[in-house]
């Protein structure tokens, strides 16, 4: 049967305004978009590019404090900008569905999955409850969820993140909509889980000839999922082309710069000679939260001026290791040596100088900076606390630090964190840790919440600081591209154990440990055929598990 390829969604000269500082400011400057039935269009760009706003506008919806000021959004011949509230409500869920970034935040924790699934079909009176439940099970099966018969009767917190994201996709399919909007559906997932979700979404969209808008900042993901790509920058369209063409011959400078990301790579430092004292030495530590053992006999060394990347999926014990080093979670066994002497296990028992030597930079800069303090106060506090600086000396040193992180002192000194962008906040977090003049910094997923261009800026900054100040880094990440660009040594962790460790060049060269191999092969590549090839290699069912079992190299 030939697939229907008529135009489904047509957006013409869409302009959206946002309300801030008591006036309306245009944030989307006249966007056109045409979507045919069964087509998947990727919307990409940095944060603030307006991709999510456009995605929501395709449902005739704007966030609080935003309004559509001009243009039309025509869905199957009906203009959503002039439609009444009840007309639009009749479409949502039934003909247009939305899959949000965080499935965990979008499901109601108080109801079972299947009850939430059947809500839309019942509301729109498309099916009876029994029919809808049977259909849910069928969709769960098609999305390759384990135990499709039973999984719907669990609560959202009883299934894993990847499964929840697939259940969310199943829910979006419950009314067989003509259009699904995916807003960063895999951004919060590990690489190994991401593959399962990507494969599931791609299959189901193809099977039902559903059109989709796929919003993401991950180019490699877009390359797998989409027929066409549109690139946005600050509410303007930069360029549009079919996926392959766009990947091979980007026209605009901005698009090229997006493609060229991760060009940053620095030379690997040689290992220090055997027998030299490591700066930080983690010796056989085990740790537990209550009765649950989370770390099991973990050992590795960090030498002065070197970067050790600790990689693994969520739950592998990377962050727990960091908590043991900082003394937040005293290990049950083993010890942490710093410059050859053992550190007291609890941070409360450490001296001011020991605390000063090891600093930490957090993943979420939003929660790492006190929202009620100015940048000057935040960076100034460690100087005041450790070095006892006051008055003009303090101001001078804070200005120096702001210069060091490439933020203009006169402009940022009196600002609050909420007035800064994500990347700038992360820079302030770095400055705060530098203010203590440490010899060792733990970077906990410092770039994973940032766009690629911004993340690269942060990596370059960290690298420059390491050169200038001789810092040692412990770099916790699940992003192997980051590891490639900045690490000297790599430690792979799984289920609280070190699976493999060694210098970077050795680690990225086969043969690998099966788990390392699984991680490496799961990182999406720009090649549009990558996912298809990988799935063929691994066998389509239970992508992750099959690969974990066989671990055939590529």
Partner 1 sequence: MTAFTIIYFAFLITASCAAAFYKYKSALLLLFTLLCVSLLAGLLGGSGVLVNIAIGFGLLAAAGGISYAFRESMVQILPGEGAKLMRTAPLTAAFGLLVIITYVIAAVFAPVIAPFGEAEVVGASFAPADDVMILGGDQLGRDMFSRLIYGARNTVGIAMMTTAIAFTIGTIAGLVAASAGGWVDQVLGRIVDTLMAIPQLIFALLLLTIVGTSVVNLTLVIALLYSPLIFRLARAVAGNIVVMDYIEAARLRGEKTWYIIAREVLPNITAPLAAEFGLRFCFVFLAISALSFLGLGIQPPTADWGSMVRENATLISFGEITPLIPAAAIALLTVAVNFVVDWMLHISSGLKE
Q: How far is the CB of 18 from partner 1 (least distance, A)?
A: 10
Binding site for partner 1 (CB under 8 A): 19, 22, 64-65, 326-328, 347, 350, 352, 355-356, 359-360, 362, 364, 367-373, 381-382, 385-386, 432, 436
Nearer to partner 1, 363 or 404 (CB): 363
Q: What are the beta bridge partners of residue 358? A: 440
- SS3 assignment for 260-299: CCCCCCCCCCCCCCCCCCCCEEEEEEEEEECCEEEEEEEE
Q: How far is the CB of 499 from partner 1 (least distance, A)?
A: 28
Nearer to partner 1, 78 or 364 (CB): 364
Nearer to partner 1, 33 or 360 (CB): 360
Nearer to partner 1, 228 or 356 (CB): 356
Q: How far is the CB of 458 from partner 1 (least distance, A)?
A: 17
Q: How far apart are the first and last CA of the chain?
A: 36
The token duo for 295 is 């770390």
The token duo for 321 is 């290791």
Q: How far is the CB of 309 from partner 1 (least distance, A)?
A: 21
Give the whole-angstrom CA distance, residue 354 versus residue 339: 10
Give the whole-angstrom CA distance, residue 301 versus residue 278: 6
- SS3 assignment for 310-357: EECCCCCCHHHHHHHHHCCCCCCEEEEEECCEECCCCHHHCCHHHHHH
Nearer to partner 1, 111 or 352 (CB): 352
Nearer to partner 1, 202 or 356 (CB): 356
Q: How far is the CB of 259 from partner 1 (least distance, A)?
A: 33
Cβ neighbours of 186 (radius 10 Å): 24
The token duo for 158 is 């009883």
Nearer to partner 1, 64 or 253 (CB): 64
Q: How far is the CB of 294 from partner 1 (least distance, A)?
A: 18
Q: What is the DSSP string of 357-409?
A: HEEEE-S-HHHHS-TTS-HHHHHHHHIIIII---HHHHHHHHHHHHHHTT--H
Sheet of 78-79: strand order equals: 23-36, 7-20, 66-75, 78-79
Q: How far is the CB of 367 from partner 1 (least distance, A)?
A: 5
């Amino acid at each position: 049967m030939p697939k229907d390829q008529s135009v489904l969604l047509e957006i013409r000269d869409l302009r959206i305004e946002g309300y801030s500082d008591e006036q309306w400011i245009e944030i989307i400057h006249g966007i056109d978009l045409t979507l045919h039935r069964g087509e998947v269009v990727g919307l990409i760009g940095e944060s603030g590019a307006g991709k999510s706003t456009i995605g929501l506008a395709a449902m005739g919806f704007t966030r609080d404090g935003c309004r559509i000021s001009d243009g039309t959004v025509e869905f199957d011949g009906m203009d959503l900008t002039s439609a009444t509230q009840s007309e639009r409500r009749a479409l949502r869920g039934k003909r247009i569905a939305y899959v949000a970034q965080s499935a965990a935040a979008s499901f109601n924790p108080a109801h079972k999955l299947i009850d939430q699934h059947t809500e839309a079909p019942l509301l729109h009176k498309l099916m009876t409850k029994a029919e809808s439940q049977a259909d849910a099970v069928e969709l769960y099966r098609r999305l390759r969820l384990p135990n499709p018969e039973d999984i719907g009767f669990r609560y959202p917190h009883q299934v894993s993140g990847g499964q929840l994201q697939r259940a969310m996709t199943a829910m979006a399919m419950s009314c067989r909509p003509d259009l699904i909007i995916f807003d960063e559906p895999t951004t919060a997932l590990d690489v190994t889980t991401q593959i399962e979700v990507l494969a599931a979404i791609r299959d189901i969209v193809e099977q039902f000839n559903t059109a989709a808008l796929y919003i993401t900042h991950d180019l490699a993901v877009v390359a797998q999922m989409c027929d066409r790509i549109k690139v946005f920058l600050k509410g303007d369209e930069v360029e549009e082309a079919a996926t392959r063409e766009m990947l091979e011959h980007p026209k605009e400078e901005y698009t090229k710069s997006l493609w060229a990301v991760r060009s940053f790579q620095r030379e690997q430092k040689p290992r220090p000679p055997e027998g030299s004292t490591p700066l930080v030495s983690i010796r056989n530590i085990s740790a537990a939260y209550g009765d649950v053992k989370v770390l099991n006999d973990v050992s590795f060394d960090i030498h002065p001026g070197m970067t050790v990347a600790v990689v693994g999926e969520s739950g592998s014990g990377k962050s727990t290791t960091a908590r043991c080093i900082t003394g937040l979670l005293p290990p049950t066994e083993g010890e942490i040596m710093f410059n050859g002497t053992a550190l007291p296990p609890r941070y409360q028992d450490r001296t001011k100088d020991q605390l000063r030597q090891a600093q930490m930079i957090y993943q979420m800069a939003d929660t790492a900076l006190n929202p009620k303090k100015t940048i000057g106060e935040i960076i100034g506090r460690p100087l005041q606390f450790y070095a006892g600086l006051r008055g003009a000396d303090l101001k001078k040193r804070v200005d120096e630090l702001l210069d060091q992180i490439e933020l203009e002192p006169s402009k940022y000194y009196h600002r609050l964190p909420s007035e800064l962008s994500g990347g700038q906040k992360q820079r302030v977090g770095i400055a705060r840790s530098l203010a203590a003049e440490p010899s060792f910094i733990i970077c906990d997923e410092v770039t994973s919440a940032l766009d690629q261009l911004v993340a690269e800026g942060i990596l370059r900054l960290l690298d420059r600081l390491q050169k200038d100040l001789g810092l040692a880094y412990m770099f916790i990440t699940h992003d192997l591209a980051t590891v490639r660009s900045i690490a000297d040594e790599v430690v792979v962790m799984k289920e609280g154990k070190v699976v493999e460790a060694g210098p970077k060049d050795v680690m990225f060269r086969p043969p690998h440990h099966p788990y390392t191999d699984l991680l490496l092969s799961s990182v999406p590549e720009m090649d549009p055929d990558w996912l298809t090839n990988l799935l063929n290699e691994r066998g389509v069912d239970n992508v992750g598990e099959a690969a974990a079992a066989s671990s055939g190299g590529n």
